[in-house]
Every structure is written in C-alpha cells, then in structure tokens.
Amino acid sequence: MKYIRYEDERPIDRQFGGFIMRLSTGPGKGVLRVLASLVSRALEGGDVCLDLQSVAGREIMTGEEHVSIPELPELLDVLSRSGVVSDGGGNLPLVKGRGSLLYLQRYHVAESGLARAILNRCLEPQGDPEKEARTALLLQLFPAESEDGGGMQRAAALQALRRRFSVIAGGPGTGKTTTVVKILALLAGEDGTGGGRIAMAAPTGKAALRLSGSVRMQKAALHCTDAARRAIPDEASTLHRLLQAVPGTGRFRHGPLNPLPYDTVVVDEASMVALPLMHAFFSALSPSCRLILLGDPDQLASVEAGAVLGDICAAARLPGSALHGSVTVLERNYRFDGGSDISDLARAVNGGRVEESLGLLAPDRGNGVVLRPPYVGWNERDGVPEELADAIMEGYRPFLEAGDPPSALLAFDRFRMLGAIGDGPGLSGVRGLNMAAEQVLRRAGLIDPSSPFYHGRPVMVRENDYSMRLFNGDTGIVFNDPECDAPLVWFNAPDGSLRAVAPERLPKHETAYAVTIHKSQGSEFDAVLMVLPRQDSPLLSRELLYTAITRARRSVEIRADPEALSAAIRKGTARVSGLKDALLNP
C-alpha cells in the first residue's frame, strides 16, 4: 500500500473532519474524518473538490494517526452508507459528484449551478450573422479581416452579437478592451439605445480602475455617433459592488429573485473570479442579459477555489461542446513590437520551455529581460545589497520627489517589486523587500518612517470596505495635506479623479513597495523586479511566472536560482474541479 504523508492539516480541517465523523451513522468513521479534512484542505489550496482517485488504496499519515483508505469501489460504498454524503440531491454536508469527486455541499451547488447557467445561455437561439456582418457600423469599427489581428477582433464581435454569453481571451496587450469597447458601440447602434443598460465590472477595485481608464481612452477615439459613445459607461465597479454585497453576511442584494437591472454586462480579469462569486454573479443576471467575459486563462487562477475561466476556455476548445465558438482568443500583441523579449519570454514560460526561457534571460543579451542570482545574507541590521538598493532608489525616488498626489501615483506605478511569497527568510519574501525598501529610502533621506503614516508610504488595501468605497487591492500613497500638513492617503477613483482618505478610516492595509504576484494581477508597470525563493516551492509555477512577467511593459529582472526557476517553468498548476466535465456532459 502506498503512503501519503498529510503534514499540513490545519486545525480547522481537523475540526471539520471530527464534526463529519461524529455526524456519520455508517462504517469507516476514521476514513470519513480524514476525507473531510482533505476536502477542507483542498479548498485552501484552490481546488474545488477532492479527487478520491488520488487517495484510494493509500495509507494517510497525519501526525501519529495512520488511516488506510479502501480501494475506490469499497470507498464509494463507505461514502454511500455514511449518512453524511449525498449525490447532490439532498442537503448533507458532503456530496459525491461526477466520477470520483468529493465536494463540500456549497461548492457542489455553486459548480453545478454555474454550469447550468452557462449552458442555458449557450443553448439560446443565435442571431443572423450575415445580417449583422452587413451593418455599416460593424465594417466601420472592425475593418475586413487582415493579418494584424483585426480579423480575430471582428470574430469576437460577431460572437458577442450572436450569443448571450461570450468570452474574449488573450494575454495583456492583445486588444481585449479595445475590442469590447467597439462591441458596446456596435450594440448601442447609432441612436445609442441598442445595448440597453450597460454595466462593466472587475473582481478588484484596482482592476475596475484600470478598466475604467482604458474604456474612457478607447471610446474617445471611436468612429461612431456621440449617442453610441455616451451609451458606453465611463466607470466600472467591482463585482461585489455591482451585486450589492450585504456587509458581514457573505450575501448579495442581487440574485435570482432580484436580478441585476442591466441588458449588457462586461466583466474584465475574469481569471481572478473564484467559483462561489462567479456562481453568485451568474445567478443575478436576468435571462435576457448579454454577458461578455474578458481575461487571460493562462494567468494565475483566483486566490479562492476554482479556475473558472480556464475551465470554460478548455471546454470551448472541443468541437462537440455547447460552448464551442463562444470563446475567441486574441493572439496579436499590440503592447510589444514584433520580437519583444518580454512577449517571447511570456510565451516560452507559458509553454513550459525551460531552455528557451533561460536563453532569453541571459545577462549578455541586454534585451529588457534578465535572470540574476538571488539576494542573500540580509536582515534588518545589515545593509541592503547594493544592486537591490540601486534598483529601489531608481524605481522609487521619482514618486517620492513628486510635488503632488497625482504625479506621485503616476510615478509609483512605473516600477514594482513582486514576490512569490508574503514572508520568507531574508529578501525571499514581500515582507523583507518592503523592510529593505524603507531602510534604503530612509537612509537616503527620502522618507521618515518614524510614524506609521509617513509622507510617501505606499499602502495596499487588504479587505473590502463598502462604506469607504475601498476594495481589496486598491493602492494609495500617503501625501501630506498642504493646507494642514496632516497625512492623507490618496487613491485614484474609477471616474479618473483622486480621493483622499484619512489614515484612521482605512480598512486593513499593508505597505506596498513590494507586493505578491497574486496581488499584482490587474496591474501594469514599466519595470518589474521579480524575487523568488531560493528553493523550489509548491507556490512556484509557470502560471505564477507568466503572471509576473506580463505585468511589465518594458523590462523584467528576475532574482532566482536557475534550478528553482527551471523547476517552476516545468510545473503547471492544475486545480481539481468538475466544471469542465459538467460543461461538456450536462
């Protein structure tokens, strides 16, 4: 019998396992305890469920406890007789789903409900593409198919016109926002009424802010009527704000009985949306609402459970799928010129090609992407390594010397240090990098961190606060109010303005000279300094690297051991989920 050592069982996992064991009325209580604990632990790692095949016939070792898991047929019999596992039709805490998947009940409800909602939209009658293709506005906004990628944008527009559900996928800089703005103008028509009420949303405040700015810029350049241009909203909201989250409850005011009052909804950065939130969102759409998702399925999946956009795109690739044709992938990159090494590196990493990636990162190429040795041997008492100190000064001096908050916020987004982990030894984690930045900038006389809200301190919000209209991921800068010389934290607002918040009114937040790669999603910087742990880690994957690389517009420096970097490029992340199968086999 093969052994699995289960060393990362958390107290909450053990408590849940004990609850299920006590609730069970059938045999195999020890087996049920371990399986329930594993299901709970799987969610923390981003999986939606536990694949029983991965543990059947194994012996699980948790501390001093050894539990033998039966082979799959006997294990399924144990579950069916347990009194705590349903097949999805009851209200028991665990659900045995398709094949050998075991769920917490609420996640099975979310996954199966989301699959039904997507398929219902895909099975609706389609429009007449030939009639749509003859419209003058379509030809004006999307010229005839060409080699520069315009043909794929036009194809995405036709799919959005034909269907109540469509996805425009592609990496950063491939024109997703440009395409969707033209689609919204096309839907609006010359009189601006064809698209009905339009809403735009994103999973985080930062992503909503970027979407708002991009849409305002794109629609100003559109060749369409003023009425069509006015029909396109200027401001995007977070999904939580769109659904009107009820603080402290986990519920939303909009749902099946109180649907959203929109005829067209666009959601950007859809790869960041976890399964429960995506299910709640779909449940709140009226049957006639047209939904367009934008996102990059190759990026990191959501922090919480699920890889919804990736599952949708994977299902849509198969010709027999009801989703076939719903997803258009834009490939031409408009951000980088042909042969850009950032673009080439992103593709090589995404493809798991180690030698090609390392070749592009060679120090002597001078091409804007480079791999250098990791920073070692630093603690709070030691001086920061000279190369890191130089990077911090070059990257952050401009925003600290800015004369006003708008200039400071603009300059701050030109450079960012990104880490794979929040805390780690020395400079391997975000905490150490932030401490190093404060040390360097203090010694240069650019900051005075003797008080928590010192002038120039960058902060990132860590939780949603609807009363303050601040959301997880929002980034601001402390800048002294010139009238009273008191500190205020300045943020960009979705409408393009600036707003100031008193420090004592901030929700949970953290210093943000450096942020984790997960928290950088939805952002762009001119230059990125990526710092990875010296040793291979379960957190390191090609999706993590790809996400960090594609945050950069001009340059990427990676500080890592070549062996650890190579291991990460080889390692793809596959989350356990039944959504793809549910979409393929209703």
Domains of the chain: 3-103 (1.10.10.1020), 127-335 (3.40.50.300), 340-570 (3.40.50.300)
Question: Considering the chain, what is the average pLDDT of its residues?
Answer: 87
Mean pLDDT, to the nearest integer, of 291-311? 89
251 pLDDT higher than 50: yes
> What number of other Cβ atoms are within 10 A of residue 289's Cβ?
21
- pLDDT at 144 > cutoff 80: no
Q: What distance in Å separates the CA atoms of residue 297 and residue 310, rounded to the nearest whole number?
A: 5
Q: Is 424 known as a binding-site position?
A: no
Find out whether 171 is annotated in a ligand binding site. yes
* pLDDT of res. 145: 52
Task: Give how far Cα 66 sits from Cα of 33, 34, 558, Å.
Answer: 12, 10, 42
The H or E element that residue 418 is part of is: strand 415-419
What does the pLDDT average to over 212-223? 86
The answer to the question of whether 2 is labelled as a binding residue is: no
DSSP helix, strand, coil percent of the chain (3-state; round to 5): 40, 20, 40
Query: Is 368 assigned to a binding site?
Result: no
pLDDT of 337 reads 55
Question: Residue 383, annotated ligand binder?
Answer: no
pLDDT confidence of residue 348: 93
Span 481-531, pLDDT tens digits: 767 678 999 998 766 788 899 999 999 999 999 999 988 887 889 999 999
Q: Rg of the Cα trace of the chain?
A: 25
Task: Check the annotation: does 419 bind a ligand.
Answer: no
User: Is there a binding annotation on residue 127?
Assistant: no
Instruction: Specify whether the CB–CB gap between 478 and 457 falls below 8 A.
Output: yes
Q: Is the pLDDT of residue 180 over 80?
A: yes
Query: Residue 101 pLDDT more than 70?
Result: yes
Distance between CA atoms of residues 171 and 336, nearest Å: 12
Residue 145 DSSP code? P
The identity of residue 470, as a single letter, is L
In the predicted structure, residue 245 carries a pLDDT above the cut 90: no
The tens digit of pLDDT for each residue in 114-139 reads 999 999 998 776 665 545 545 667 76
Confidence of residue 336 (pLDDT cuts 50, 70, 90): low
Strand order in the sheet with 50-51: 50-51, 101-104, 94-96, 85-86
Binned at pLDDT 50, 70 and 90, residue 378 comes out as low
Residue 1 has pLDDT above 70, yes or no: no
Q: What is the mean pLDDT of residues 162-168?
A: 91
DSSP state of 493: -
- Taking the CA atoms of 364, 368, 374 and 380 in sequence, report the sign of the dihedral they define: positive
Q: What is the pLDDT of residue 125?
A: 61
Is position 174 annotated in a ligand binding site? yes
- Percent pLDDT > 70 in the chain is 92
Distance from C-alpha of 444 to C-alpha of 434, rounded to nearest angstrom: 15
By residue count, the chain amounts to 586
Q: Which long-range contacts (C-beta less than 8 Å, at least 24 apart) are formed by 113-117?
A: 113/279, 113/282, 113/283, 114/275, 114/278, 114/279, 114/282, 114/308, 114/579, 115/579, 115/582, 115/583, 115/586, 116/586, 117/279, 117/282, 117/283, 117/285
Q: What percent of the chain is modeled with pLDDT above 90? A: 49
pLDDT at residue 399 greater than cutoff 50: yes
Mean pLDDT of 298-325: 88
Structure confidence at residue 128 (pLDDT): 52
Greater confidence, 467 or 254? Answer: 254
Q: Rounded mean pLDDT of 63-68?
A: 78
Would you state the pLDDT for residue 48? Answer: 94
